[in-house]
Amino acid sequence: METILEATARDSYGKNEARRTRRDGKVPGVLYGEGKDATAISVEPRALLKILHSESGANTLIQLKLAGHSGDTRVLVKDFQLDPVTHQLLHADFYRVALDKAIQVNVPITVKGVPHGVKQQGGVLEYVRREVVVSCLPLDIPEHIELDVDELMLHQGIRLRDVATNPKWKAVTDLDSMLVHVIMPKAEEVAAPADAATAVAAVATTPAEPEVIKKGKKETEEGAAAPAKDEKKK
């Protein structure tokens, strides 16, 4: 999948500049790769979120239209950061790609059907891998790798070598890697109290565990988020 995203060059890097960009309703980012200097840019958050929430997600090939620059640049979203509380986009890294050079990307695994081992033998389908790494040209990035699991019986599975037959991409992940298999459900071991009195006593004598409040990660400043990208500008 390919789509268009408009961007604007920013004057400088740094946390203060990034904050000003966010106050203006934009997402600060960095454009780098293909041996060129890194460029500080900003993009519309809604447009970028629409891309990230699409079926191809971060593997969407983007035509980046940089204001004031002629021509389009093909990029992929290399990384992005979300506020842990508001889920607001804080920063994004865009990596330049050449259409005639193979790249490595993570591709999600999806399944079609319901295994016989689940319907007839009481098993459960378990994902061993949710994604695999493949090498391909930017225009040939698959949105997903679909597995037909209908014929799987109990204790049977699908390995990467069983589906790595597409001429447009080559598997980088080990071909012997198991992707999904049908297994027996794990029995939950529940200790039953001898009688109601024992159960009440057990509750009364068991100290309550202190509540643990998980703190969200503080907003990552742009300078600390991608030091490697800034170094490319030197």
Does residue 207 carry a pLDDT above 60? no
User: Distance (Å, rounded) from C-alpha 49 to C-alpha 112?
Assistant: 27
What are the tens digits of pLDDT across the range 31-66? 999 989 999 999 999 999 999 999 999 999 999 999
DSSP assignment of 170-200 equals EE-S-TT-EEEEEEPPPPP-----SSHHHHH
Domains of the chain: 2-97 (2.40.240.10), 103-183 (2.170.120.20)
What are the tens digits of pLDDT across the range 107-155? 999 999 999 999 999 999 999 999 999 999 999 999 999 999 999 999 9
Element at 51 (helix H, strand E)? helix 45-52
Q: Provide the whole-model pTM.
A: 0.73
Q: What percent of the chain has pLDDT over 70?
A: 79
Instruction: Please name which of 178, 161, 173, 175 lies closest in space to residue 135, comparing C-alpha atoms.
Output: 173
User: Distance (Å, rounded) from C-alpha 160 to C-alpha 214?
Assistant: 37
How much is the mean pLDDT over the chain?
A: 84
